[in-house]
Structure 1
Amino acid sequence: MSLSRSDFDQYMVPNYAPAEFVPVRGAGSRVWDQAGREYLDLAGGIAVNSLGHCHPVLVKALTEQANKLWHVSNVYTNEPALALAQQLVASTFAEKVFFCNSGAEANEAALKLARRAAIERFGEKKHKVLSALNSFHGRTFFTVTVGGQPKYSDGFGPKPEGIAYFEYNNLDSVKALIDDDTACVILEPIQGEGGVLPADPAFLQGVRELCNQHNAFLIFDEVQSGMGRTGSLFAYQEYGVVPDILSSAKSLGGGFPIGAMLTTADIAKHLVAGTHGTTYGGNPLACAVAGAVLAEINTPAVLEGVKTKHQQLKAGVEAINAKYPLFKEVRGMGLLLGCVLADGYKDRAKEVLNAAVKEGLMVLMAGPNVVRFAPSLVISDEEIATALSRFEAAIAKLLG
């Protein structure tokens, strides 16, 4: 059966507009399409393929578990889920873990837990959620409303109430909104979809202190910034600011769908049996793969390598930009970089992506004005150099 990109338009709901080529095989940081053409992957499945494509350790974990046990539901527990929870607790501030299938579900669980705990402790009025403008926390109706981007939440009818928005990296903006009716503040240590914008350390510390003053929970959405992406296992460790609740997904599964919410025992006790759930969360296949991902990433060699590769990638982009001044800023942490288009090239990030594809390079956007890189954490120095060469060729042709 021969399938092509045109079959997407015939059979699929048109909420996506995928590229014209169809990837069929991947190995490490390289992908091949139906015609056998090779691409270097600096997109990483939107910061998901933390160890690249078909990493042998992950393939082994998946196939071994596939021959043991696939699914039993949460009527029972299972060994891979217990082992992964134990790993996460040992590696973070957390004492308790809830597994689900995606970042949106992890954030939904985090927000529901924060509201439930706040209301049970202080009464019904304590339900307000504070979130950053231009943030992104998922596509469920609750999380997409909490994400401060109306373009994603408008047009679906009445929205969940009790949500207010502050300016990212503006502590005074948080101070103006937070009060004793605030249940939680949710933010990304690095805004991902909002343009790869890292938080100022003083801002995160200030928000932590405000939450303490008002008995509000601090939730860090580390769906994109977590699992080694910054050079620490989670970005909060890089900043030295500890949240009450943390969400993880994307890189946690290395390409296999999984999400997790991490918190303390004192907060977790508010989600008693029956208050929240998921059919597939804690699935043995997902947890076996994620356990292998975590063991592979949470090592000095990989985490220090991320910081070294950051320097190589950023310096390379800046050198290209010195010749072809397309960007006004290159920002980010670790292997999550955002290249902000200069004012003269406003809204042309999609053109950069298309130009890169023509040179055999996969990159991302983070809004219409930011070109984003989120490659495998173990991409080789040689692959980075080749990718930069292809990126330069793409920009040279684009700018003519």
Structure 2
Amino acid sequence: MRTHLLRLSRPTSRRTLATVHPGSPPPTTSTFTSNSIFPREPHAPAVVTSCLPGPRVQEASRGIQQFQDSRTHVLVAGNYIVDLDGNAFLDVYAQIASIPIGYNNPDLLKLAKTDLFATMAMNRPALGVFPPGEWKDMVEKAFLSVAPKGLNQVFTAMCGSCANETAFKAAFMTYRDKQRRLSQPPGSPAGPVEFTQEELASCMKNQAPGSPELSILSFKRPMVDWPAIKYPLEEHAKENAEAEAKSLQDVEETIISMKEIRPVAAVIIEPIASEGGDLHASPAFFRGLRQITKTHGVSFIVDEVQTGVGATGTFWAHEKWGLAEEDAPDFVTFSKKMQASP
């Protein structure tokens, strides 16, 4: 039985509410629109300082530097995004993929004020031990109602990294289960193969034979380069097809060459390598990758932390690949935009 894991993230930018810092200069009336469902929503970006970051942002950043490294500060902002100097920006990053449907969405704010939300946030039960009575319905409505085609199970984790790490663990267990079944003599009963005492004891120390050396194959780092796609696509169709074919060949050769060293238990890929550099590939490339993983008994993990939840026009970006249901990914991981990390 396949184990499936989900995880989401990277939101689409919807309508947002401008929240200007109390110390900011009052924006002009032309900055905001009056016919929005969001009070005081900017109708367009507006830069009002002679430089970016502006003087108030620089001052605030220096203050933060006293207790936190401020070198990454681009903005010290309110919400549209409107910074301390009154510059209004369209946040196309959606707070590093953590905002589900835009800032201060009225429906989410209304939900956050309910007794159920307050109870869940306040008590935060260890769900594996003390799940609330509503948990089944909540999971089915929130996650399984939008589960990718071919996947019907969900496992919740603490964060996006945890979701991927949990998928890795499940892939390792799946790989070893296949190995153990294949090692059984002909005529052996179907079902799980019992662990030996040596395996049980050694896995607690992260040692073989209970914890054998296995690996996860990813792109760009550490193993295989993402295909070098050139644009415009219609002018480089031949070169792009060759680049994708070369990358797929590298994947298969790596899986084969690693079998006697540290077997590849899973391949993980993002539909678009977002923070990795906005890297793309064709649906044919991803379909080819899926077939390679099936051929070699390797799990296929699709990381939709950045691309899931409608960020690309479909709820899951990998829907655009045209995979048959029997070729569905083994794991789809997601996180922040669903306000949870399965």
Q: Taking structure 2 as the reference length, what is the TM-score of the superposition?
A: 0.59
Aligned length: 222
User: Where does residue 11 of structure 1 map in the other structure?
Assistant: 67
State yes or no: 1:165 paired with 2:165. Answer: no
User: Where does residue 176 of structure 1 map in the other structure?
Assistant: 253
User: Where does residue 104 of structure 2 map in the other structure?
Assistant: 54
CA gap of 1:215–1:194, structure 2 versus 1, over 3 A, is: same
Q: Deviations over 1:7-57 (max 9, x none)?
A: 321101x385112x4213x2xxx2333344433322211233241110011
Structure number with greater CO (CA < 8 Å, separation at least 6) is 2
- What SS does the corresponding residue of 2:155 show, helix, strand or coil? strand
Task: Determine which of 69, 77, 98 is the counterpart of 2:155.
Answer: 98
Is the contact between residue 50 and residue 251 of structure 1 (CA under 8 Å) also seen in structure 2? yes
CA gap of 1:6–1:216, structure 2 versus 1, over 3 A, is: same
**1:84 Cα offset (Å):** 4.3
**Tell me, which stretches of 5 or more residues in structure 2 are unaligned?**
1-21, 24-58, 181-208, 228-243
- What SS does the corresponding residue of 2:267 show, helix, strand or coil? strand
The within-5 A match list for 1:375-386 is none
User: Where does residue 116 of structure 1 map in the other structure?
Assistant: 173
* Separation in 1, partners of 2:160, 2:214: 22
* Separation in 1, partners of 2:105, 2:172: 39
* Separation in 2, partners of 1:78, 1:200: 43
Is the contact between residue 182 and residue 214 of structure 1 (CA under 8 Å) also seen in structure 2? no
Query: How high is the sequence identity, in percent, across the aligned residues?
Result: 26
State yes or no: 1:248 paired with 2:334. Answer: yes
Task: Determine which of 214, 229, 247 is the counterpart of 1:127.
Answer: 214
CA gap of 1:23–1:80, structure 2 versus 1, over 3 A, is: farther
Is the contact between residue 189 and residue 222 of structure 1 (CA under 8 Å) also seen in structure 2? yes
Structure whose alpha-carbon radius of gyration is higher = 2
The within-5 A match list for 1:1-400 is 4-12=60-68, 14=69, 17-19=72-74, 21-24=75-78, 26=79, 30-64=80-114, 65-70=116-121, 71-74=124-127, 75-78=129-132, 81-87=135-141, 88-91=143-146, 92=148, 93-122=150-179, 127-133=214-220, 148=221, 164-168=223-227, 169=244, 170-179=247-256, 181-241=263-323, 242-253=328-339, 258-260=340-342
Q: Deviations over 1:260-317 (max 9, x none)?
A: 1xxxxxxxxxxxxxxxxxxxxxxxxxxxxxxxxxxxxxxxxxxxxxxxxxxxxxxxxx
Is the contact between residue 236 and residue 243 of structure 1 (CA under 8 Å) also seen in structure 2? no
* Separation in 1, partners of 2:293, 2:338: 27
Higher strand share: 1
Q: Taking structure 1 as the reference length, what is the TM-score of the superposition?
A: 0.51
**Tell me, which stretches of 5 or more residues in structure 1 are unaligned?**
134-147, 150-163, 261-400
**1:117 Cα offset (Å):** 1.8
AA at the equivalent of 2:61: R
